Copies of this chain bind each other. A is one copy, B any other.
Amino acid sequence: MTELTAIGAAAKRAAFALANAPTARKNAALLAIADALEARAAEILAANCEDVEAARARGMSASMLDRLSLSETRVRGMADGVREVAELPDPVGRVLSGSTLGCGLEMEKITVPLGVIGIIFEARPNVTSDAAALCLKSGNACVLRGGKEAIRSNTAIARVMRAALRAADMDENCVCLIEDTARETATAMMRLNGYIDCLIPRGGAGLIRSVVENATVPVIETGVGNCHAYVEKSADIAMAAEIVFNAKTSRPSVCNALETLLVDEAIAEMALPVIAARLAEKDVELRGCARTCKILPQAVPASENDYAVEFLDYILAVKVVSGMDEAVEHIRRYSSHHSECIVTRDLNAARRFAREVDSAAVYVNASTRFTDGGVFGLGAEIGISTQKLHARGPMGLEAMVSYKYVLYGDGQVR
């Protein structure tokens, strides 16, 4: 048995007991973890300091260093995040439906944990406690595998959480961390069928693709957001400018940020200069189709690839389209099916866009930035699913369970 299999087996054993743990016990463990994170912040920060030094020495970019770095405040934020999860309703043991079958069997469909959830993530150490808390609350053991840049931080955070679990009289293997950061180990983890029930990658497009390509364990794809706004010909131009400005610039690095603007040709000459002027306040680079460049001299020509990628930056692809057909077709072709919006005053256009655009969240006259578990009333999220199997859009605790049928009879045979 390899070390990885041993971790999988330990997590699986822990998951059996955790699956039926009462809500109060799980909450007590979560509060113990939160307290421990704060009490042992110095130890976590010392480890993080080493990670940050090493990353800086290797020339990591400033924005990546910011994601990697912890502080007293950030550790407190992690602890508060765990406390918030403790306050969410327990998703396990809910009776989703029930009936008495013709033969007299009494049937209930009851939520149960998924079992062991594998989380593969990159350089953000706070994912360690965020993901572990959501898994614990939903009765799932977790096997965490973070990026090598954050290994010292992750190891310290996992050590603190596991000690808190032991102190709360829970199996420490409810939270497992793979400390071996070799790429082969990550690949082996993706194929740990029989131990890991579900894999959730959290990170950029490259990580997601690697997991989809290599995993034999069921995967939930998350987080890649090539989001579109379509300014339909009846749109209120001022509203369109505000929505596009907000969706693009309020936080460009997140997955629900806008990446491509589509404008109806009937309104393009009026709308584009207004929208561009608003975006100029934040120095947004515009990459446009030929017609866009004609209307906006400041735009540079867009390549095919500009419509296909997430910029995650102050860059926006722009295209003038002949109408709804072309807008919907463009979105079908390039979207990652995360979030899209239409700006319109026309009822039929709104209804058609909502019906025909097949993304996790479709907005009429609102910014794509609202796609978020907290905003949607789902609580903290483990990720935003861009696939259609199992869960779609923001995944809160309710997306982290399965169900089983329990049937009581008195000797029924068929």
Contact = CB atoms under 8 A, between A and B. Distances in A.
Contacts of A354: 406, 408
A402 interface: yes
Interface string A385-404: 00111101100000000111
Nearest to A328: B16
A183 interface: no
Nearest to A329: B16
B404 A392 contact: yes
Q: Is the interface of A mostly helix, strand, loop or mixed?
A: mixed
Interface string A4-41: 00000000000010011000000000000000000000
Interface stretch (A215-223, A265-273, A311-319): A215-223
B197 A414 contact: no
Contacts of A216: 212-213
Contacts of A369: 413-414
Interface in A340-383: 350, 354-356, 358-367, 369-371, 375-377
B198 A242 contact: no
B366 A105 contact: yes
Given A114-B388, A392-B402, A243 B413 contact: yes
Given A332-B16, A361-B407, A366 B250 contact: no
Contacts of A218: 218-219, 387, 389
Given A242-B413, A370-B105, A413-B246, A364 B20 contact: no
A89 to B, nearest CB: 15
A403 B407 contact: no
Query: Taking the full assembly, how many copies of this chain does it contain?
Result: 2
A405 B236 contact: no
B376 A101 contact: yes
Given A239-B411, A242-B411, A115 B365 contact: no
A405 B377 contact: no
B365 A411 contact: yes
A165 interface: no
Contact of A408 (B19, B350, B375, B405): B350
Interface residues of A, number: 69
A410 interface: yes
Contacts of A220: 389
A361 B243 contact: no
A27 to B, nearest CB: 19
A236 to B, nearest CB: 7
A187 to B, nearest CB: 14
A62 interface: no
Contacts of A413: 242-243, 245-247, 250, 366-367, 369
Contacts of A295: none
Contact of A362 (B99, B103, B198, B405): B405
A276 interface: no
Nearest to A390: B390
A412 interface: yes
Contacts of A250: 413-414
A358 to B, nearest CB: 6
A164 B216 CA distance: 38
A412 B107 contact: no
Contact of A361 (B20, B376, B404): B404
Contacts of A279: none
Given A103-B375, A392-B404, 18 more contacts: A20-B355, A101-B377, A102-B375, A103-B370, A197-B387, A212-B216, A236-B411, A350-B408, A360-B405, A362-B406, A364-B408, A367-B412, A367-B413, A388-B402, A389-B389, A390-B390, A392-B403, A393-B405
21 contacts: A20-B356, A101-B375, A101-B376, A193-B212, A197-B388, A213-B216, A242-B413, A245-B413, A354-B408, A358-B404, A360-B405, A361-B404, A364-B406, A365-B410, A366-B407, A366-B413, A370-B407, A370-B414, A371-B405, A388-B402, A389-B389
Q: Which 9 A-B pairs have the closest CB atoms?
A: A366-B409, A246-B413, A388-B402, A390-B390, A366-B412, A369-B414, A239-B411, A218-B389, A361-B405
